[in-house]
Amino acid sequence: MAKNLTSREEDYSKWYNELVVKADLAENSAVRGCMVIKPYGYAIWEKMQAELDRMFKETGHQNAYFPLFIPKSFLSKEADHVEGFAKECAVVTHYRLKNDENGGGVVVDPDAKLEEELIVRPTSETIIWDTYRKWVQSYRDLPILVNQWANVVRWEMRTRLFLRTAEFLWQEGHTAHETKEEAVKEAEQMMNVYADFAENFMGVPVIKGTKTDSERFAGALETYCIEALMQDGKALQAGTSHFLGQNFAKAFDVKFATRQGKQEHVWATSWGVSTRLMGALIMTHSDDNGLVLPPKLAPIQVVIVPIYKGQEQLDAISQRVEPFIKEMRAKGISVKFDDRDTQKPGWKFNEYELKGVPLRLAIGMRDMENNTFEVARRDTLTKESVSMDGIVDRLEELLNQMQENIYQKALDYRDAHITEVDTFEEFKTLLETKGGFLSAHWDGTEETEAKIKELTKASIRCIALDAKEENGSCIYSGKPSKRRVLFAKAY
Amino acid sequence: MAKNLTSREEDYSKWYNELVVKADLAENSAVRGCMVIKPYGYAIWEKMQAELDRMFKETGHQNAYFPLFIPKSFLSKEADHVEGFAKECAVVTHYRLKNDENGGGVVVDPDAKLEEELIVRPTSETIIWDTYRKWVQSYRDLPILVNQWANVVRWEMRTRLFLRTAEFLWQEGHTAHETKEEAVKEAEQMMNVYADFAENFMGVPVIKGTKTDSERFAGALETYCIEALMQDGKALQAGTSHFLGQNFAKAFDVKFATRQGKQEHVWATSWGVSTRLMGALIMTHSDDNGLVLPPKLAPIQVVIVPIYKGQEQLDAISQRVEPFIKEMRAKGISVKFDDRDTQKPGWKFNEYELKGVPLRLAIGMRDMENNTFEVARRDTLTKESVSMDGIVDRLEELLNQMQENIYQKALDYRDAHITEVDTFEEFKTLLETKGGFLSAHWDGTEETEAKIKELTKASIRCIALDAKEENGSCIYSGKPSKRRVLFAKAY
Ligand SMILES: [Zn+2]
Ligand SMILES: [Zn+2]
C-alpha cells in the first residue's frame, strides 16, 4: 500500500483530509455535509464511547433517549437558544411521498404537510426540558442525572470530516438540580471528566477554562470548556459543559416543591462531546506516515506480520506465534495475525503504519531461529529485535510507555506554544509565525474581542481556570485588565 | 407505590400501555408518535444491545455509521423498495429558519429550500449500497460484514410505545457477498443469532421461518423471521433477516471482479431488530403485578430492602448486608441496597415488583437475629426465609433457575397455542376463542392470503423452517397444499 500522503508541512489541511480517508476512518457521503464513519474509524469511536460511558455511570449518570424531532415552537421558548440554533437546521415539513401523476417519479405529497414543522435536533435541551416538567414535582425527584448518545444535525455550509459535519454523533448530558451550587458543581465535574478522558485516554493535553460571553453556549450562564492544541498551532474545543441556570426550567415551566414547601424553578446543566474528538485525536498525534493512536484507543494494538515463502513456512510461523497470541488476548491486548497471502509484507507494514497500529511484530525464518520478533513502535518509528522469552510482558510495558510518550510529546508541544504577549504587534506576528495559544490581557469587552477576531482571526479560546490575577493592560485597547486570557486561531 | 394496574384479563392492551409507563420504561413525547425511553427502560435496551453487539462481532461483523438522510431519488432506484418505504416518511425540505418579519416568531426561510428533498432514513439499504459501490472493486474486498446501530423514522399513523413508533432505535446489518450461497447462508445465520438471543437471553421462545411473498421486505427475495407469541394470543415479529439477491447491487451498480476476472453484481443481505423487542419482552413475561424480567436483562437483579426503625437499626442492617453486597458484585450480580428513608418498605416492595426486579431480599431485626434474609422471587411471587450462610451462591442459582423458568413458562404457553386446524369454520372460531398460531393448509396464492386476512384479520406469520411436507387442502379455497403455514393475528 503506497501511502502517497501529503506531508503536514506541505499542506496541513490536505494532509488531514487525505489521512482520514486513507486510514479508513471516514468519507463523504452522497448527502452534502454528512459523513460515513467507516468500520475502522467507528471502532475507535466505540472505544471512546465505552470509556466515556463508564465514566458517566461512575459519576451517577444514566442513559435515556429523547426524540430526534423538536417542534419548531420549542426552539423559540428560550430566547438566546433560538438565536444560536434555529438558523441552520434541517426542517421536516411533510410526512409522505407519492407517485407523481405526471410520471415524474416520487414527489412530496402536498396533502401531507405538517401543521407544525419539526426540526431535526441540533441539541436537545428544549425537548428534554419539556419532558423533565413531567418528571419533577418535588426535591425528592432531584437530581436528574441523564445522558443521551445520539445523532444531531446542524446545517453547516463548509464541512470537514469529523471536525464540522452536518450530522454528527455525540453524547449530551442534561441534568436537573435543587440548587444553583449543585448545578455549578455538576458542570465543573463534567468538565473535569472530559479533561481526564482527553488526557489519560486520548493522550490529548487540554486547558480547562470558561468561555467569554460571546463564545458561550446559547442559553447558558457559564460554559466550561476543554481546549486542545493541534500540530498546526490552531486550537480545538474538545468538549463543553454548561451551567444553564434556571433558563430552561423557566422556559418550560419546570418547578419543584422545595424542602421548605415552596415552588422553585429547577437548576440545569448540559454537557457534550462529539465525533469531533476524532478530529482532535488525529490532528494531535499523527505524522507524515499516517495515524498515530494511543494504545488505549487502538482497535488493534499489536499486529503480527509473518514473512515467509510457501505454505510450509507460514504453517511453521503460525504455529509458533499461536501461544503468544493467546497470551496477549488473555492479558486484554487486542492482536491481529495478518496471514493474508494477497498482500506482501511491505504493503502490510505500510498499511498498519497508516492506520496507526501501535506495535508491529514481524517474524521470518531468521527470527524463528533466533527466537525473536522484530518489534516496531509506531510512535517513534523505531525497531528492535526482541527475544520471545517474556515478550508479552515487554509488549504490555511498551504499550504503557507509548500511551505516556504520546501524551508527553503532545504536552511538550502544547506547552512550548503558549506564549505571553504584551503588544498587539507581537500578537499579530506570533499568530502568523508560531501560532498556538497567545496569553494576553484583554479589557473584558465584546467590542475588543470582536475587533481582535476581525483583524487577526484569533478568538478567545478560554479564560483558563488556573489563570492568576495580574494587573495589565489590554493588548488592543490598552484599558486595564485583571488577568490574561488565551487567544488562538481555532477549528 | 400503589400499582393500580389494569389486569390483563380486563384489558390486555390497556394493561400494556399502563405497564410501560408505570414501570418507568417509556412515555409519549410532545412529538406525535415519538417516544421518550426512560432511564430504566433504556438500561434494559442497553443490555440487549451489548449482548447482540457481542454476538454480531463474534460472527465477524463490524459496526459503522451512515447518514441519517437519504436523497429522495435514492428511494426510487429499487422498484419494490420505494413502494414499501417511500410512502410514510419524514421529508426534509428546508435547511434554515428565520425570524418572521411580521413578528410571527420563527418561520421556515423560503429561500432555504433544498434542491432535492431528503428523507429521514426508514431503513438504510439505499444510502449504504450507494457507499458500497466505492468500497468494492474485487472479490478481495468481499465480504463486507457491517452493522449499524441507529435511529430510523417511519411515519406511522397509529403508534404504541415500543411496538410501533414513528422514530425507533434499531440495528441494521448490511452485508455484501461474492456468491448467492454465501449471502443466503449469512441471512440464515443472522436469523439463528436472533433466535438464540431471543430464547436464551430474553427468554422468549420463537418460531423460525420465512415470509410469504406479500409479507416479505420491500426489495428482498427471501425474508427469514422469528415469530413470538404474546400472552393475548397475538403473534409478534421479533426480528427479520433478508436475502436481497442482487437487487440493490443492480440498483446502485455495485460490481466486483470475480476470481475468474469477470464483472458481476454483488449479493446482499440485511437484517434488523429494534426497540420493538422491548414490547415483546414485556408482553411475553409480565403479569398483573407488573414487569417480569429475565435475570440476564434485569438492570437490577437483586434489591435489598431494610426494615427498620431509626438510624441505629438501619446502621446495624447496613453493616450486616455490606459483605453480601460486595460478594454479589464480585460475582457480577447487580444489586441495589435501597435505604431511602423517604419511602416505606411496602411501597418499595410494590415498586420493585412493578419494575420486575428478579429477587427481592428483605431484612429486619428478626432476620438479623435468625441469620436469614426473606427472599422473594418475582417470577413465582413466592417467598422463603434463607440462611445467610452461602446465600450468594443460592441467589446465583435462583437467578439461573428463574431465567430457565421464565423461558419454560413462555414456551409451554406458546406450545399450547399452536393448533392444527383443517376447516375455515374451526379456523375462525379458534382465532376468536383460543388465539395463538393456527397451523393450516394454504394454497400458496396471494389472493387467498389476502382474503383470509380480510375476513379474519389473521395473516400468515411464517412458513416454519421445520414444517414437514404433508399433502392437504387449503382451508379457504380447498385447493391442494404441500405444507401447513402458521396464521395468527399479529402486532
Ligand atoms: Zn512550533
Ligand atoms: Zn390460552
pLDDT in tens, B9-62: 999 999 999 999 999 999 999 999 999 999 999 999 999 999 999 999 999 999
CB-based contact, B35 to chain A, within 8 Å? yes
Has residue B104 got a pLDDT over 60?
A: yes
Who contacts A164 (Cβ-Cβ below 8 Å, separation ≥6)?
A156, A158, A276, A491
To the nearest whole percent, how much of chain A has pLDDT over 70?
99
Task: Give the pLDDT mean for B315-341.
Answer: 97
Count interface pairs A-B at CB distance under 8 A.
185
Q: What is the pLDDT of residue B374?
A: 98
Distances B58 to B51, B54, B193, B230, B271 between C-alpha atoms, Å: 11, 6, 10, 30, 16
By Cβ distance, the residue of B34, B75, B93 closest to A69 is B34
By Cβ distance, the residue of B69, B75, B134 closest to A34 is B69
A97/B87 CB distance under 8 A: yes
Q: Which residues on B lie below 8 Å from A39 (Cβ)?
A: 62-64, 146
By Cβ distance, the residue of A62, A76, A131 closest to B36 is A131
Query: Ligand 2 centre from B7 Cα, in Å?
Result: 16
CB-based contact, A88 to chain B, within 8 Å? yes
pLDDT band (50, 70, 90) for residue A105: confident
CA of A433, nearest ligand number = 1
By Cβ distance, the residue of B64, B94, B96 closest to A39 is B64
- DSSP assigned state of B107: E
By Cβ distance, the residue of B31, B86, B146 closest to A97 is B86
Highest CATH level, class, for A420-488: alpha beta
To the nearest whole percent, how much of chain B has pLDDT over 90?
92
Residue B437, classed as helix, strand or coil, is strand
Which residue, A341, A191, A461, is CA-closest to B140?
Answer: A341
Give the lowest-confidence range in A486-490, B157-161, B345-349. Answer: B157-161
CA distance B23 to B26: 8
pLDDT band (50, 70, 90) for residue B1: very low
Please, what is the average pLDDT of chain B?
A: 96
Who contacts A25 (Cβ-Cβ below 8 Å, separation ≥6)?
A19, A37, A38, A40, A41, A44, A161, A162, A278, A282, A291
Residue B187, classed as helix, strand or coil, is helix
Name the residue in chain B with its Cα closest to that of A138.
Answer: B342
Q: Which residues on B lie below 8 Å from A92 (Cβ)?
A: 90-93, 120
Here the cell at position A336 is 491481529
Q: Which helix (H) or strand (E) holds B277?
A: helix B276-285
CB-based contact, A141 to chain B, within 8 Å? no
Which range of A214-223, B69-78, B369-378 scores highest in mean pLDDT? It is: B369-378
Which residue, A254, A118, A275, A77, is CA-closest to A174?
Answer: A254
ipTM of the prediction: 0.96
B276-285 and B12-22 helices, crossing angle to 10°: 110
- Is residue A6 within 8 Å of A12, Cβ to Cβ? no
CA distance B373 to B362: 6
pLDDT band (50, 70, 90) for residue A342: confident
B43/A63 CB distance under 8 A: yes
Model pLDDT for residues A190-221, shown as the tens digit of each residue:
999 999 999 999 999 999 999 999 989 888 99
Counting other chains too, the contacts that B412-420 makes at CB distance below 8 Å and 24 or more residues apart are B413/B229, B413/B231, B414/B205, B414/B228, B414/B229, B415/B205, B417/B229, B417/B233, B418/B486, B420/B484
Who contacts A359 (Cβ-Cβ below 8 Å, separation ≥6)?
A301, A302, A303, A375, A376, A377, A378, A395, A398, A399, A402
Query: Ligand 1 centre from A409 Cα, in Å?
Result: 13
Query: Ligand 2 centre from B165 Cα, in Å?
Result: 28
Helices (H), A238-299: 247-251, 276-285
Has residue B491 got a pLDDT over 60?
A: yes
Task: Give the pLDDT mean for A323-349.
Answer: 96
Who contacts B54 (Cβ-Cβ below 8 Å, separation ≥6)?
none
Q: Hey, which residues does B373 pair with through a beta bridge?
A: B386
Compute φ and ψ for B131, nearest 5 degrees.
Answer: -75, -40
- Is residue A294 within 8 Å of A402, Cβ to Cβ? yes
CATH of domain B12-69+122-285: 3.30.930.10
Q: Which residues on B lie below 8 Å from A73 (Cβ)?
A: 105
Cis peptide bond N-terminal to B143, omega within 30: yes
Q: End-to-end distance of chain B based on CA atoms, in angstroms?
A: 31
Name the residue in chain B with its Cα closest to that of A67.
Answer: B34
CB-based contact, B113 to chain A, within 8 Å? no
Name the residue in chain A with its Cα closest to that of B42.
Answer: A64
Q: What is the pLDDT of residue A3?
A: 67
Q: What is the pLDDT of residue A292?
A: 98
By Cβ distance, the residue of B46, B73, B131 closest to A63 is B46
Compute φ and ψ for A3, nearest 5 degrees.
Answer: -80, -45
Please indicate whether residue A108 or residue A101 has the higher confidence score (pLDDT). A108
CA of A8, nearest ligand number = 1
- Is residue A56 within 8 Å of A172, Cβ to Cβ? no
- Is residue A240 within 8 Å of A209, Cβ to Cβ? no
CA of A430, nearest ligand number = 1
Query: Ligand 2 centre from B240 Cα, in Å?
Result: 26
Q: What is the pLDDT of residue A150?
A: 98
Dihedral sign from CA coordinates of B53, B120, A251, A243:
positive
CB-based contact, A100 to chain B, within 8 Å? no
Task: Give the pLDDT mean for A113-134.
Answer: 96
Cis peptide bond N-terminal to A480, omega within 30: no
Q: Where are the domains of chain A?
A: 12-69+122-285, 300-401, 420-488
- Is residue B31 within 8 Å of A75, Cβ to Cβ? no
Q: How many helices and strands (H and E) does chain A possess?
A: 14, 26
B75/A97 CB distance under 8 A: yes
Cell numbers 453547516 label which residue? A156
Q: What is the pLDDT of residue B3?
A: 67
CA torsion A132-A137-A141-A144 (nearest 10°) is: 20
Highest CATH level, class, for B300-401: alpha beta
Q: Which residues on A lie below 8 Å from B65 (Cβ)?
A: 36-37, 42, 45, 169
